[in-house]
């Protein structure tokens, strides 16, 4: 009984904070827009009893989903988000792996400091940090001033309000999510494994490819999902750093919700996004389980 | 007449013209200001089975790591086949090492672990396959070939590590406590297997062990180490029978140490023996030694329990006889060890083979007995 009680805690938690809101969103996505408060119809009127319920249920339909399927804007936005998420995940990996590797190779007494530096940005508001990038990347920004100052370029580069700025923003924001799991995987790697590889005829470089890299695979997978999943639905970064051409589903969702006040369509966009993300989330869970198994 | 070559004892260390495969020349290794290896000079010959014996932390692994190329000597040189190996990286040395921690690759199967070194040589698939199968048979792990290291037991992991280091058939094989996790039967089998491999391949083995029985069984020579120095290097029988110090005598097997003062006053012309006065009121012990000992030198007589005879009556055929009382009996099945207390309180151990059933043994607790041994039974040592 006590065991059951303990296990039920996380499930109750999930039920309250995930499943119930999801069901509400799902319900709204099946509703129609209405100039009212709340801005959709039907609403459930339980005072009319069973009849009220059937009445309510009969008015729900998949209209909004058909609408999304027919308008190319939406699936283009999904595809574009997918592309941006994949590309920035790869870029984060390319930047993050050497950082994590360097951290594990650093002398022991340095590691807490390096770890601190990776986590440090979390101490400032995410919004402020993204705004700071505006100041760095704009035409008159620090980056252009620096590059022109040392004479690398004559004309200021247009970075802000392009996809490049979005990539920079995502890589910057999610870097710790990539570095930390890879670091955790690399840190467990016993130095004697590399020695054994060398002893058996590997150069340092092949020892890295045959031992270090495969052994950090689990960390790479975990880090990639931790970057990919939130990047897919990212809204703030494309809104602040991206331009009018930057198409991301998070931004579309925001506009449907706040500019068009079309809650049902916005909800349908959210439901599809979630369904799309369930695949990588399940894969991520699998990876975590496999890792735990290997450690046993 | 028997074949002369077969009769010849394998003892290249006594042949002045033999060229050692490994030479340590005044090698010192320091970690910071800690000296792990202290001015060590040592020759190891081709086809030797050389054991390093010593307490934990005395520098055995460090010696191995210098041979494998993971540490460089702070001072001195190590020659392999007459060549200074300092500039040769580990992957270019014809040396393989079995790590004390096994260092198996956790992401690779048993099969792939063993094949790892062979693949680096760029051998073709069939040859790699055959060699791996051969190694798997050797360590009796055929059934576990596809398992990952975390799916097998500690003893099995140790055997994988052994197989992996053997697979490349190196000129020099370094084994750091290779059999510690195996149960006794498998350990003995593997020991003989190692000796077999050694005979067929001519590989030189350097092996670290803390099991003296193992060192005795497999070694051509044993080096006993203490605090980064080699205390004695010799064949197993000589290490056992003629230790050069109390430390060595004590390290290998069971030993009685009887301390006393040497005297040759009553010896006359006999310079091959010495009297050891070890207790008030006891007649001195008579021991063979060629050492030049000043009158009254503090010496220790190291004598193995199996060389001490226990009898009810005073034996007449031996010069050394001491009276005592049975204090304790340790019954080990094939042998029994009697702990006999001398009048001064010292305990001397005497071992006898149990050729009769235990119920019919001659002595029991508190019996008055005589301990006796010959003049050559013990070793006279000076610290
Ligand atoms: N990399 C190292 N840094 C500092 N001290 C070390 C290092 N490696 C070994 N030592 C020290 O050298 C001594 C000998 O170690 P080792 O050769 O591993 O001993 P053994 O194998 O005989 O138990 C130990 O006291 C150990 O602490
Ligand atoms: Mg060791």
**CATH assignment of the domain containing B40:** 3.40.50.300
My answer on whether B133 and B51 are in the same domain is yes
- Residue B1 pLDDT > 50, yes or no? no
Region B265-276 average pLDDT: 83
CA torsion angle for B254, B99, B146, B185 (degrees, to 10)? -10
B86/B193 same-domain check = yes
User: Helix (H, G, I), strand (E, B), or coil: what is residue B334?
Assistant: coil
Name residue, tokens 């500690």.
B154
Together in a domain, B53 and B151: yes
- Same-domain check for residues B189 and B307: no
For residue A64, what are its two tokens?
Answer: 């909004």
Residues counted in chain B: 383
Give B-chain residues touching A201 at CB under 8 angstroms. Answer: 91, 117, 120-121, 168
| Contact residues for B213 (Cβ-Cβ < 8 A; gap 6+) | none
Residue B111 sits at φ, ψ, to 5 deg, of -60, -50
**ipTM summary value:** 0.81
Of A193, A200, A214, the CB nearest to B120: A200
- Alpha-carbon gap: B100 to the closest alpha carbon of chain A (Å): 10
Ligand 1 site residues (CB inside 6 A) read B 31, 34, 36, 54, 56-62
What CA–CA distance (Å, rounded) separates A42 from A59?
A: 7
A8 vs A134: CA distance, rounded Å: 45
Least reliable range by pLDDT among B131-140, B158-167, B358-367: B358-367
- At the second CATH level, the architecture of A64-295 is Orthogonal Bundle (1.10)
DSSP-based three-state secondary structure for A202: coil
Q: B172-176 and B95-98 as β-strands: parallel, antiparallel, unpaired?
A: parallel
Contact call for residues B93 and B69 (beta carbons, < 8 A): yes
| Rounded-to-integer distance, Cα B194 and Cα B192, Å | 5
Residues 6+ apart with CB under 8 A from B206: B22, B44, B50, B51, B52, B63, B64, B67, B172, B173, B174, B175
Contacts of A198 in chain B (CB under 8 A): 69, 89-91
CA distance B348 to B326: 10
Residue A211: closest CA among A198, A220, A223, A230: A198
Asked if residue B24 is part of any domain, the answer here is: yes
> With contact defined as beta carbons under 8 Å apart, do B255 and B245 qualify?
no
- B237 and B289 share a domain? no
Residue of A nearest to B114 (CA): A200
Identify whether residues B122 and B234 lie together within a single domain.
yes
Is residue B25 included in any domain, yes or no? yes
Length of chain A equals: 296
**Residue A16 DSSP code:** I
* Nearby residues of A259 by Cβ (< 8 Å), 6 or more positions away: none
Q: Of A46-50, A59-63, B46-50, B67-71, which range is least confident?
A: A46-50
Q: What is the pTM of this model?
A: 0.80
**Which of A 187-216 lie inside 8 A of B, CB atoms?**
190, 192-193, 195-203, 206, 210-211, 214-215
Per-residue pLDDT of B220-231, as tens digits, reads 999 999 999 999
- In the listed set B231, B248, B265, which residue is the last one of a domain according to the structure? B248
**Ligand 1 atom with minimal separation from the B225 CA:** 22
Decide if B355 touches A, using CB distance below 8 A. no
Paired residues of B233 in beta bridges: B223
Which residues, in sequence order, are bridge partners of residue B353? B335
Q: Are B64 and B234 in contact (CB under 8 A)?
A: no
User: What mean pLDDT comes out for the span B172-195?
Assistant: 86
Residue bearing the bigger pLDDT, A220 or B190? A220
3-state secondary structure of B72: coil
C-alpha–C-alpha distance, residues B341 and B113, integer Å = 56
**A157, A137, A99, A123: which is closest to A237 by C-alpha?**
A137
State in Å, rounded, how far the first CA of chain B is from the last one: 46
Residues A264, A29 contacting (CB under 8 angstroms): yes
Nearest partner of B167 among B128, B196, B207, B209, judged by Cα: B128
Residue contact B91–A294, C-beta within 8 A:
no
Q: Is residue B2 part of a domain?
A: no
Determine, for residues A201 and B121 on separate chains, whether the beta-carbon distance falls below 8 Å: yes
Half-sphere exposure (Cβ direction) of B355: Cα atoms closer than 13 Å: 2
Residue B6 located in a structural domain: no
Kindly state whether residues B232 and B217 are assigned to the same domain: yes
**How confident is the model at residue B75, as a pLDDT?**
96
Rounded mean pLDDT of B233-244? 93
Task: CATH number of the domain at B270, please.
Answer: 2.40.50.140
Average pLDDT over residues B56-70: 94
Q: How far, in whole angstroms, is CA B365 from its chain's centroid? A: 34
- The helix/strand/coil state of B236 is helix
In which domain, by residue range, is B376 found? 254-381
Q: Mark whether B168 and B269 lie in a shared domain.
A: no
Instruction: Give CA–CA dist A37/A34, Å, rounded.
Output: 8
A199–B90: do the CB atoms touch at under 8 Å? Answer: yes
Residue located via tokens 């995987």: A185
Distance separating alpha carbons of residues B352 and B361, to the nearest angstrom: 10
Number of other CB atoms surrounding residue A130 within 10 Å: 17
Residue finishing a domain among B219, B248, B277: B248
Cα B359–B363–B369 angle (5° rounding)? 175
DSSP B341-378: E-TTS-EEEEEEE--S-GGG-S--TT-EEEEEE-TTSS
Which residue's C-alpha comes closest to atom 27 of ligand 1? B57
The closest ligand to the CA of B99 turns out to be 2
Whether the predicted pLDDT of B4 surpasses 60:
no
Q: How near does any CA of chain B get to the CA of A18, in Å?
A: 36
* Prior bond of A258 cis (ω within 30°): no
Identify the CA nearest to B78 among candidates B151, B24, B146. Answer: B24
Residues of A in contact with B121 (CB under 8 A): 201
- Give distance in angstroms: CA of B63 to centre of ligand 1: 10
Q: In this structure, are B240 and B258 located in the same domain? A: no
In A, minimum Cα distance to B106 occurs at A215
Question: Please, where are the H alpha helices in A162-262?
Answer: 163-187, 191-199, 204-207, 213-215, 217-232, 236-241, 249-254
Partner residue opposite B120 with nearest CB, options A192, A193, A201 = A201
The single residue listed with the structure tokens 């001491």 is B322
Confidence of residue B152 (pLDDT cuts 50, 70, 90): very high
Tell which of B198, B216, B248 closes a domain.
B248
| A227: preceding bond cis by omega (within 30 degrees) | no
Q: Which two tokens stand for residue A278?
A: 């369930």
Contact list in A for residue B91 (CB cut-off 8 A) is: 198-203
Q: Kindly state whether residues B173 and B56 are assigned to the same domain.
A: yes
Question: Cβ atoms within 10 A of the Cβ of B214, count?
Answer: 22
Strands (E), B101-178: 172-176
Are residue B135 and residue B58 in the same domain, yes or no?
yes
Distance between CA atoms of B203 and B218, rounded to whole angstroms?
14
Per-residue pLDDT in tens (0 to 9) along chain A, 296 residues:
566 767 778 788 878 888 899 999 999 999 988 888 888 888 887 788 888 888 888 888 889 999 998 999 899 999 999 999 999 999 999 999 999 999 999 999 999 999 999 999 889 999 999 999 999 999 888 999 999 999 888 888 898 999 999 999 999 999 999 999 999 999 988 999 999 999 999 999 999 999 999 999 989 999 999 999 999 989 899 999 988 888 899 989 998 999 988 999 999 999 999 988 888 888 888 888 887 776 65
> CA–CA separation, B213 vs B211, rounded Å?
5
Contact residues on chain B for A192, CB-CB shorter than 8 A = 99, 101, 103
Structure tokens at A111: 């590691």
DSSP annotation of A110 reads G
Best B105, B128, B152 member to test A by mutation, with max A CBs in 10 Å, is: B105
pLDDT at A47: 82
Q: What is the pLDDT of residue B144?
A: 96
pLDDT higher than threshold 60 for residue B5: no
* Dist CA B175 CA B27 (whole Å): 20
Residue with tokens 């009984």: A1
* B242 and B303, same domain (yes or no): no
Is B356 part of any domain? Answer: yes
């Amino acid at each position: 009984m006590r065991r059951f009680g303990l296990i039920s805690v996380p499930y109750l938690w999930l039920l309250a904070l995930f499943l119930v809101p999801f069901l509400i969103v799902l319900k709204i996505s099946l509703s129609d827009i209405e100039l009212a408060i709340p801005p959709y119809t039907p609403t459930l009127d339980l005072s009319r009893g069973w009849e009220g319920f059937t009445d309510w249920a009969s008015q729900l339909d998949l209209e909004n989903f058909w609408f999304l399927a027919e308008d190319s804007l939406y699936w283009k936005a999904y595809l574009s988000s997918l592309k941006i998420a994949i590309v920035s995940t790869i870029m984060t990996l390319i930047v993050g792996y050497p950082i994590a590797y360097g951290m594990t190779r650093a002398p022991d007494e340095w590691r807490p400091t390096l770890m601190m530096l990776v986590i440090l940005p979390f101490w400032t508001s995410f919004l402020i940090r993204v705004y700071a990038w505006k100041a760095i990347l704009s035409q008159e920004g620090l980056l252009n001033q620096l590059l022109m100052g040392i004479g690398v370029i004559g004309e200021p580069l247009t970075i802000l309000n392009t996809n490049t700025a979005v990539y920079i923003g995502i890589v910057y924001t999610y870097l710790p999510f990539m570095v930390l799991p890879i670091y955790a995987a690399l840190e467990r790697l016993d130095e004697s494994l590399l020695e054994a590889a060398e002893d058996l005829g590997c150069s340092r470089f092949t020892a890295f490819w045959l031992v270090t890299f495969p052994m950090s695979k689990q960390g790479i997978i975990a880090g990639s999902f931790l970057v990919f999943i939130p990047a897919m639905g990212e809204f703030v970064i494309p809104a602040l750093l991206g331009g009018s051409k930057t198409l991301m589903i998070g931004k579309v969702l925001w506009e449907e919700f706040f500019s068009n006040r079309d809650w049902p369509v916005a909800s349908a966009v959210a439901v599809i996004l979630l369904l799309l993300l369930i695949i990588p989330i399940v894969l991520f869970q699998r990876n975590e389980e496999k890792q735990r198994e290997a450690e046993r | 007449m028997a074949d002369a070559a077969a009769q010849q004892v394998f003892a290249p260390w006594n042949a002045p013209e033999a060229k050692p495969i490994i030479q340590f020349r005044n090698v010192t290794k320091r970690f910071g200001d800690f000296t792990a290896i202290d001015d060590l000079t040592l020759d190891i010959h081709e086809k030797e089975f050389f054991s390093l014996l010593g307490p934990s932390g005395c520098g055995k692994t460090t010696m191995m790591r210098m041979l494998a190329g993971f540490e460089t000597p702070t001072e001195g040189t190590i020659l392999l086949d007459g060549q200074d190996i300092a500039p040769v990286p580990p992957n270019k040395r014809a040396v393989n090492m079995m790590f004390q921690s096994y260092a198996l690759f956790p992401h690779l199967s048993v099969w792939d672990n063993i094949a790892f070194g062979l693949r680096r040589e760029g051998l073709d698939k069939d040859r790699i396959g055959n060699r791996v199968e051969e190694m798997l048979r050797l360590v009796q792990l055929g059934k576990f070939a596809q398992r990952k290291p975390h799916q097998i037991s500690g003893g099995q992991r140790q055997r994988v590590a052994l197989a992996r280091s053997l697979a490349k058939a190196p000129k020099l094989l370094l084994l750091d406590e290779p059999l510690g996790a195996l149960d006794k039967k498998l350990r003995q089998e593997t020991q003989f297997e190692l000796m077999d491999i050694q005979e067929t391949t001519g590989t030189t083995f350097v092996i670290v062990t803390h099991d003296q029985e193992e060192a005795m069984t497999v070694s051509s020579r044993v080096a006993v180490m203490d605090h980064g120095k080699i205390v004695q290097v010799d064949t197993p029988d000589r290490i056992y029978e003629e230790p050069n110090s109390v430390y060595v005598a004590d390290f290998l097997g069971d030993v009685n140490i009887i301390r006393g003062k040497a005297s040759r006053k009553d010896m006359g012309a006999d310079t091959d023996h010495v009297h050891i006065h070890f207790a008030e009121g006891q007649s001195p012990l008579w021991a063979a030694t060629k050492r030049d000992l000043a009158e009254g030198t503090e010496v220790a007589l190291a004598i193995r329990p199996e060389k001490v005879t226990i009898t009810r009556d005073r034996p007449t055929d031996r010069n050394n006889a001491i009276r005592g009382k049975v204090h304790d009996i340790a019954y080990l099945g094939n042998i029994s060890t009697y702990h006999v207390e001398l009048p001064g309180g010292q305990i001397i151990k005497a071992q006898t083979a149990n050729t009769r059933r235990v119920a019919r043994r001659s002595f029991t607790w508190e019996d008055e007995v005589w301990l006796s041994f010959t003049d050559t039974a013990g070793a006279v040592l000076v610290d």
